[in-house]
Amino acid sequence: MTVDLDTLASELAAGEAQPVATEPVTLVIFGGAGDLAHRKLLPALYNLHVDGLLPPRMAVVGVGRKDIGDDQYREFARDGIQRFSRRSLDEERWDSFASSLFFVNSAIDQPGVFASLGSRLDIIEHERGLAGNRIYYLAVPPALFVPTVQQLSHARFVAPADARPFSRLIVEKPVGRDLASARAISDAIAAVFDEHQIYRIDHYLGKETVQNILVLRFGNSFFEPLFNKKYIDHVQITVAEQEGIGTRAGYYEQSGALRDMIQNHMLQLLALVAMEPPRSLDADVVRDEKLEVIQSLRPLEGEAVDMATVRAQYAAGFDLGAPVPGYKDEPGVSRSSRTETFVAMQVFIDNWRWAGVPFFLRTGKRLPKRASEISIHLKEVPPILFNRDPHRRLDPNVLTIRIQPDEGFALGISSKVPGPRVRIYPVNMDFRYGSTFGGSSPEAYERLLLDVMAGDATLFMRRDSVEGSWHWITPILDRWAEQTTDPLPTYGAGDWGPPEADRLMESAGRSWRQL
Ligand code: BG6
Query: DSSP 3-state helix, strand, coil percentages of the chain (rounded to 5)?
Result: 40, 20, 40
Residue 143 has pLDDT above 80, yes or no: yes
pLDDT in tens, 245-286: 988 898 999 999 999 999 999 999 999 999 999 999 999 999
503 in a structural domain: yes
Give residue 12's pLDDT: 52
Q: Are residues 225 and 157 in the same domain?
A: no
Q: Is the CB of 241 under 6 A from ligand 1?
A: yes
> Of 118, 147, 172, which marks where a domain is finished?
172
The H-or-E segment that residue 92 falls in is helix 91-98
Nearest CA to ligand 1 atom 6: 260
Q: Are residues 421 and 497 in the same domain?
A: yes
Percent of the chain whose predicted confidence (pLDDT) is above 70: 96
Cα-based torsion angle of the residue sequence 417, 422, 425, 427 in order, rounded to the nearest 10 degrees: 60
Q: What's the half-sphere exposure (Cβ side, CA atoms, 13 Å) at 250? A: 4
Q: Are residues 333 and 456 in the same domain?
A: yes
DSSP assignment letter at 248: -
Burial class (CB in 10 A: 0-12, 13-18, 19+), 197: buried
Q: Are residues 288 and 144 in the same domain?
A: no
**Rounded to whole angstroms, how far apart are CA atoms 395 and 459?**
36
Nearest CA to ligand 1 atom 9: 261
**Rounded to whole angstroms, how far apart are CA atoms 463 and 198?**
9
Q: Are residues 388 and 500 in the same domain?
A: yes
Best of 200, 241, 362 to mutate for ligand 1, by most ligand atoms within 8 A of CB? 241
Residues 6+ apart with CB under 8 A from 466: 175, 176, 182, 186, 200, 264
What pairs with residue 135 in β-bridges? 27, 168
Q: Is the CB of 443 under 6 A from ligand 1?
A: no
The string of DSSP letters for 365-431 reads: SS-SS-EEEEEEEEPPPPSSGGG--TTSPPPPPEEEEEEESS-EEEEEEEEEPSSSS--EEEEEEEE
Residue 18 has pLDDT above 80, yes or no: no
333 in a structural domain: yes
Atom of ligand 1 nearest to the CA of 202: 3
Nearest CA to ligand 1 atom 8: 260
Q: Is the CB of 202 under 6 A from ligand 1?
A: no
- CATH number for position 226: 3.30.360.10
Residue 347 has pLDDT above 60, yes or no: yes
1 in a structural domain: no
pLDDT band at residue 420 using 50, 70 and 90 as cut-offs: very high
Find the catalytic residue in 265, 377, 391, 471: 265
DSSP assignment letter at 341: S
Total domains in the fold of the chain:
2
Please indicate whether residue 265 is annotated as part of the active site. yes
136 in a structural domain: yes
pLDDT in tens, 145-196: 999 999 999 988 999 998 999 999 999 988 999 999 999 999 999 999 999 9
DSSP assignment letter at 496: S
Residue 34 has pLDDT above 60, yes or no: yes
Q: Which domain covers residue 439, as residue numbers? A: 205-507
Q: Are residues 311 and 381 in the same domain?
A: yes
> Of 172, 191, 221, which marks where a domain is finished?
172
Q: Is the CB of 495 under 6 A from ligand 1?
A: no
Say how far residue 341 (Cα) sits from the centre of its chain.
Answer: 17
> Of 148, 172, 196, which marks where a domain is finished?
172
6 in a structural domain: no
147 in a structural domain: yes
pLDDT band at residue 134 using 50, 70 and 90 as cut-offs: very high
Residue 311 has pLDDT above 80, yes or no: yes
pLDDT band at residue 375 using 50, 70 and 90 as cut-offs: very high
Nearest CA to ligand 1 atom 13: 204
* Ligand 1 center from residue 155 Cα (angstroms): 34
Best of 84, 200, 203, 340 to mutate for ligand 1, by most ligand atoms within 8 A of CB? 203
* Ligand 1 center from residue 86 Cα (angstroms): 17
Give residue 14's pLDDT: 52
Residue 1 has pLDDT above 50, yes or no: no
Q: Are residues 159 and 210 in the same domain?
A: no
Q: Are residues 249 and 387 in the same domain?
A: yes
Give residue 6's pLDDT: 57
**Rounded to whole angstroms, how far apart are CA atoms 28 and 135?**
6
Q: Are residues 229 and 363 in the same domain?
A: yes
* Ligand 1 center from residue 19 Cα (angstroms): 25
Give residue 2's pLDDT: 47
Atom of ligand 1 nearest to the CA of 252: 8
**Mean pLDDT, residues 27-37:** 95
Residue 508 has pLDDT above 90, yes or no: yes
Q: Are residues 389 and 271 in the same domain?
A: yes
Residue 400 has pLDDT above 50, yes or no: yes
Nearest CA to ligand 1 atom 5: 260
187 in a structural domain: no
- CATH number for position 91: 3.40.50.720
Best of 173, 200, 261, 266 to mutate for ligand 1, by most ligand atoms within 8 A of CB? 261
Atom of ligand 1 nearest to the CA of 403: 16
9 in a structural domain: no
Q: Are residues 223 and 135 in the same domain?
A: no
Give residue 108's pLDDT: 78
Atom of ligand 1 nearest to the CA of 241: 10
Q: Is the CB of 260 under 6 A from ligand 1?
A: yes
pLDDT in tens, 429-449: 999 988 888 777 789 999 999
Q: Is the CB of 451 under 6 A from ligand 1?
A: no
pLDDT band at residue 376 using 50, 70 and 90 as cut-offs: very high
Q: Are residues 229 and 143 in the same domain?
A: no
Residue 5 has pLDDT above 90, yes or no: no
What does the buried/exposed string (b/e) look like for 436-462 if buried means 16 or more CB atoms within 10 Å of the residue's CB? eeeeebbbbbbbbbbbbbbebbbbbbb
**Rounded to whole angstroms, how far apart are CA atoms 87 and 78?**
12
State the chain's mean pLDDT as an integer: 93
